[in-house]
Amino acid sequence: MAGRFVRLEPLTEAHVAGLYEAGKDPDVWTWLSAGRPRALGDMRAQVADAIADPVRFPFVQFDANGEIAGTTSYYEVDQRHRAVWIGHTWIGARWQRTALNTESKLLLMSRAFDEFGALRVGWHTDVRNERSRRAIERLGARQEGVLRAHRIRPDGTLRDTVCYSVIAPEWPAVRDRLLLKLHA
């Protein structure tokens, strides 16, 4: 999948070094379920885990210059109920608050709704991660609720998770708004 600002490709072992470089800023990892890779081998293990996860379809994100900027995934795909979650997303500090994330999510939602016939696309984020919450809301997703004590953070504390979604009847307006935003 490709747009003006981002290209998404299935994640492979070949992307380890680029991801390690993109993720060097410790602030990138503050709210993530995975801890910050301290060495190339740690990133290799994270990539291997992502690829091996049977309910996750990970992608690497390339910027317009072909440089690896981060990763994102479809996960918890529910074919029967035609639902999918987008997450496991992180973007190197240099690409945060750029069009890269917006276009990445637009590409993923377009494929989910327009090609796969999804009825809903959802997101999870840490209740304390204000930056992620605002980014998801800027996409046009609506907050649905909070799952209390939903996950264990890398530091062992319990995480409350905010749930967001876009549903099929909302998709055309969400898509059009994002396209306008990206081409403004």
User: How do residues 14-30 score in pLDDT, each as one tens digit?
Assistant: 999 999 999 999 999 99
What is the count of structural domains for the chain? 1
Instruction: Give the strand pairing for 120-126 and 83-91.
Output: parallel
Question: Which region among 8-12, 26-30, 102-106 has the lowest average model confidence (pLDDT)?
Answer: 26-30
- Categorise residue 161: left if φ over 0, alpha if ψ from -120 to 50, beta otherwise: beta
Q: Which residues, 6+ apart, have CB-to-CB distance to 184 below 8 Å?
A: none
In a domain, 19, yes or no: yes
Spatial distance between the Cα atoms of 138 and 77, rounded to a whole number of angstroms? 23
In a domain, 163, yes or no: yes
Q: What pLDDT does 184 receive?
A: 78
Angle between helices 171-182 and 99-110 (to 10 degrees): 150
Domain range for 31 = 6-182
Q: How many CB atoms lie within 10 A of CB 84?
A: 24
Return the residue matching tokens 């091996």: 52
Encoded tokens for 56: 């996750």
Q: What pLDDT does 34 receive?
A: 87
**Confidence tier at 174 by pLDDT (50, 70, 90):** very high
State yes or no: pLDDT of 99 exceeds 90.
yes
User: How do residues 133-158 score in pLDDT, each as one tens digit?
Assistant: 999 999 999 999 999 999 999 889 99
In a domain, 1, yes or no: no
Q: What pLDDT does 88 receive?
A: 95
Spatial distance between the Cα atoms of 45 and 164, rounded to a whole number of angstroms? 29
CATH of the domain at 133: 3.40.630.30
Tell me the pTM. 0.95
